[in-house]
Amino acid sequence: MLSVEKIKLGYNNIPVIHDVSFRVEKGEIVSLIGGNGNGKSTILKGLSGIMHPSSGSIVFNGQDITTAEAHKVVALGMSHVPEGRRLFPSLSVYKNLLLGAYLTDDKNVIHDRLEYVYSIFPILKDRGQQKASTLSGGEQQMVAIGRGLMSKPRFLMLDEPSWGIAPKLVEKIFEVIEEIRKDGVTILLVEQDVQEALDISDRAYVIQTGRVALEGTGKELLSSELIQKSFLGL
């Protein structure tokens, strides 16, 4: 579904990502793991059209999106839930969710998508008229994921969905990610909670200093000595 070949990405001519290649098959959960500052979020920005690679290629569903603008990437069926949630704090939960459906003005379609989001996160229906700023970290993350689902993506990118969430809610978020996959959405996950990420991932790539240092199935990487020493403290 997604093929990334030797992309280079950087800021102000300073390279951050060096010749990174990976693939995501339809129906998979694939994780990019690694410590802070290794370029995982930068990769997602490159895929979603927020940034463009200086070299290499990105092909999504057979279409080259290497230089596509962000709104065109969304229209093709890819959605990006950014790190830190990036909600509009003064807007209600309901209005934040609506912003995710900006590509359509069909009220019936929007209603159906809202009902789908509410089926996954029932609490958001109860919180609909509350300002996003009044929600807990976990509830805000639910809104961010819900907003990402409002475009009805076939491919969902989640950047640090467990960030800033109480531990008891982290497990719930990962259960939801698996549920979304069961509904036919392919998922690319960037996550620092390596144990949780690898537990639900079909495959994963370890990103270190802007390069792919290791790849394998979730189970293979969980048993890897490098992963156990570097990320799991074993």
Q: Give domain limits for the chain.
A: 2-85+154-230
pLDDT at position 115 is: 96
Alpha helices in the chain (DSSP H): 40-48, 70-75, 93-99, 107-120, 122-126, 137-149, 167-182, 194-200, 218-222, 225-230
Whether this model's pTM surpasses 0.75: yes
Contact 120, 179 (CB under 8 A): yes
Contact 234, 208 (CB under 8 A): no
How far is residue 155's CA from residue 77's CA, in Å, rounded to a whole number? 6
**Mean predicted confidence (pLDDT) in 110-127:** 95
pLDDT at position 85 is: 80
How far is residue 93's CA from residue 102's CA, in Å, rounded to a whole number? 15
- Give the model confidence (pLDDT) of 120-147 as tens digits: 999 999 999 999 999 988 899 999 999 9
Quickly name the fold that domain 2-85+154-230 has.
Rossmann fold (3.40.50)
Residue 234, pLDDT above cutoff 60:
no
Query: In which element (H, E) is residue 187 found?
Result: strand 186-190
Which residue, among 192, 216, 205, has the nearest Cα to 22 in the 3D structure? 205
Bridge partners, 183 (sequence order): none
Contact 88, 132 (CB under 8 A): yes
- Give the model confidence (pLDDT) of 17-47 as tens digits: 999 999 999 999 999 998 888 899 999 999 9
